[in-house]
């Protein structure tokens, strides 16, 4: 059994004392910052990214992955306790979870979220292990044209899943692509858009852009309106669900895992979609649909499982194709590149220990989350009472150190300020930052593959539609674009996102 020996390799890597430690630090930091309100998983990872650069590649990616699902978990905690989802994917959890907390069932809701997430995470880890190798085999057949089309599809999906206006999301993608062009042209060595500053010859620092548009912009948004939060702390009496509640959980958790695993693979941000889809499914299937919105256990169990499964399976396109499925995965790509690993199908064959080590560590990380978080909930709740004006100066200090530590380049810090302002202005104009970051990461790859494909086809642009895989991907992207512009779908999409904002 190849799978077993591969998993065995992975577990031996992931369970080394050092990697266990970094996994633990990752999930702890992730939960910590995920719990602190006002900072989502993307901003968290962007800010903590530089800390991991001093580590071995495996340890650093294991830690980042830990931060990712730790933050997801922390996000659900705040969603349940203060009705403030740290991540858009836990927005659904807030609907019923907060109601449960108000009824004095906060403990049950938190435990349900943890157990559901753990189950979903375990299943999804296996799915990654099973599906990643065959997909890699397909990916190895990809030429420049296929890569180009695949990235186009990823970008289109990110547009389709962004909040608000599709047009603005499209414009943000293109802006991101343009920002990705800054720096030296790989083919000719000509400097582009550097304003004559040699400090930008290597391009804009990815960490600086991410910290700016996500981290700083988010802090500024939170500072607009300072108010006190109401924390549901008194009501945590009973943590463990009763047998009856366990029975209610099983169905939603299983369905949520299935929905989440499938949607997570789609490029463009599956985890968010997954939790919404799962909520809808549970509401449709429930014998008591009227309970939804008033503290239904299934409304927490399903979406939480779905979002965790989706978070896990979104590693599949990253590990096999080197294409990020969401902004967090874009950050992981950035981390891999800085570590000197070229993301893509070759990672499995060239770095099996890294590949399987990360997969195994996902499961270990999920286990740690359950073991740690159920007893530590009291501590996380305390953290919620830390006032925001104490938090953000600390965050700013960490951002500054982190960004500077990447290249020791002061210009990166100026870029942080610039992109912080840009990100804030954009968010005021109701433009989502996620498509911009995805465009920024994919920009250079997209251009390189476009140019290579055109050279290979001797300047014949039909190469993108005559090669079957490439054509299929482009048709799919076009279909998605047409769909989001169709009036009915548009209305439905608006409804879904309005629900999330509520």
Partner 1 sequence: MSTKPKDGTDIAAGLLFMAIAAFFAWQSLGLEMGTSTRMGPGYFPIVLSGLLFLLGAIILVKAFGRPDDESFGRIAWRGILFILPAPIFFGLTVRGLGFVPALFITTLIASQASMRMRPLAALILAIIVTIMSTLIFSYGLGLPFRRFGPWLPV
Task: Kindly list the residues in this chain that would bind partner 1 in the complex (CB under 8 A).
Answer: 51, 54, 165, 167-168, 170-171, 174-175, 177-178, 181, 185, 187-188, 190, 192-193, 216, 219-221, 223-226, 387-390, 392-394, 396-401, 403-405, 408, 410-414, 416-417, 420-421, 424-425, 428-431, 447, 450-451, 454-455, 458-459, 461
8-state DSSP, 242:
P
428 token code pair: 């005021």
Shorter beta-carbon distance to partner 1: residue 356 or 392: 392
CB of 9 to partner 1, least distance (A): 29
Shorter beta-carbon distance to partner 1: residue 23 or 111: 23
Angle at 109 between CA 285 and CA 45, to 5 degrees: 100
Shorter beta-carbon distance to partner 1: residue 201 or 417: 417
CB of 34 to partner 1, least distance (A): 20
Instruction: Name residue 25's beta-bridge partners.
Output: none
Shorter beta-carbon distance to partner 1: residue 241 or 439: 439
Q: Is 174 exposed, middle or buried (0-12, 13-18, 19+ CB in 10 A)?
A: middle
- Rounded to whole angstroms, the Cα distance separating 467 from 459 reads 15
Shorter beta-carbon distance to partner 1: residue 116 or 203: 203
Shorter beta-carbon distance to partner 1: residue 276 or 424: 424
Shorter beta-carbon distance to partner 1: residue 226 or 244: 226
CB of 209 to partner 1, least distance (A): 13
Whether the CB-CB separation of 85 and 75 falls below 8 Å is answered with yes
DSSP 150-194: HHHHHHHHHHHTSSS-HHHHHHHHHHHHHHHH-EE-TTT--EES-
CA R_g for the chain: 22
Give the DSSP H/E element, type plus range, for residue 262.
Answer: helix 243-265
Helix (H, G, I), strand (E, B) or coil at 267: coil
- Rounded to whole angstroms, the Cα distance separating 207 from 48 reads 10
CB of 293 to partner 1, least distance (A): 23
183 token code pair: 């720096």
- Rounded to whole angstroms, the Cα distance separating 493 from 246 reads 33
Shorter beta-carbon distance to partner 1: residue 102 or 451: 451
105 token code pair: 């069932």
CB of 232 to partner 1, least distance (A): 23
CB of 414 to partner 1, least distance (A): 6
CB of 459 to partner 1, least distance (A): 3
CB of 390 to partner 1, least distance (A): 6
8-state DSSP, 231:
-
């Amino acid at each position: 059994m190849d799978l077993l020996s591969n998993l065995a390799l992975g577990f031996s890597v992931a369970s080394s004392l050092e990697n266990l430690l970094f996994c633990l630090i990752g999930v702890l930091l992730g939960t910590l910052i995920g719990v602190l309100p006002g900072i989502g998983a993307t901003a968290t990872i962007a800010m903590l990214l530089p800390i991991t650069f001093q580590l071995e590649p495996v340890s650093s990616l294991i830690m980042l992955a830990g931060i990712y699902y730790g933050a997801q978990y922390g996000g659900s905690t705040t969603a349940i306790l203060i009705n403030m989802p740290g991540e858009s994917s836990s927005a659904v959890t807030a609907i019923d979870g907060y109601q449960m907390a108000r009824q004095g069932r906060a403990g049950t809701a938190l435990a349900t979220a943890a157990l559901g997430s753990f189950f979903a995470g375990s299943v999804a880890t296996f799915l990654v292990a099973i599906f990643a190798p065959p997909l890699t085999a397909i990916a190895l057949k990809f030429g420049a044209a296929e890569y180009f089309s695949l990235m186009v599809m990823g970008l289109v999906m990110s547009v389709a899943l962004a909040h608000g206006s599709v047009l603005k999301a499209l414009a943000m993608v293109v802006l991101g692509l343009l920002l990705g062009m800054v720096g030296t042209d790989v083919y000719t060595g000509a400097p582009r858009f550097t304003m004559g500053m040699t400090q930008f010859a290597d391009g804009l620092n990815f960490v600086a852009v991410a910290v700016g548009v996500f981290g700083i912009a988010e802090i500024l948004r939170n500072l607009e309106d300072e108010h006190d939060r109401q924390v549901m702390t008194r009501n945590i009496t009973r943590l463990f669900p009763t047998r009856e509640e366990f029975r209610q959980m099983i169905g939603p958790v299983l369905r949520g895992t299935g929905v989440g695993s499938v949607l997570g693979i789609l490029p463009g941000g599956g985890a968010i979609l997954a939790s919404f889809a799962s909520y809808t499914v549970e509401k449709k299937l429930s014998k008591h649909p009227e309970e939804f919105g008033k503290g239904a256990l299934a409304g927490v169990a399903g979406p939480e499982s779905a979002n965790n499964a989706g978070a896990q399976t979104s590693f599949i396109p990253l590990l096999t194709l080197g294409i990020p499925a969401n902004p967090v995965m874009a950050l992981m790509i950035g981390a891999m590149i800085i570590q000197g690993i070229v993301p893509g199908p070759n990672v499995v064959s060239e770095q099996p220990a890294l590949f399987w080590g990360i997969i195994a560590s996902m499961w270990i990380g999920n286990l740690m989350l359950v073991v740690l978080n159920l007893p530590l909930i009291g501590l996380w709740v305390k953290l919620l009472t830390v006032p925001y004006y104490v938090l953000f100066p600390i965050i700013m200090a960490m951002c500054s150190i982190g960004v500077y530590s990447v290249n020791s380049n002061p210009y990166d810090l100026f870029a942080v300020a610039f992109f912080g302002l840009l990100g804030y202005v954009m968010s005021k104009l109701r433009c989502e930052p996620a498509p911009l970051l995805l465009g920024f990461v994919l920009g250079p790859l997209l251009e390189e593959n476009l140019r290579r494909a055109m050279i290979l086809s001797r300047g014949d642009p039909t190469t993108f539609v005559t090669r079957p895989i490439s054509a299929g991907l482009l048709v799919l992207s076009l279909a998605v674009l047409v769909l989001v512009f169709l009036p009915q779908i548009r209305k439905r999409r608006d409804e879904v996102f309005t629900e999330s904002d509520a």
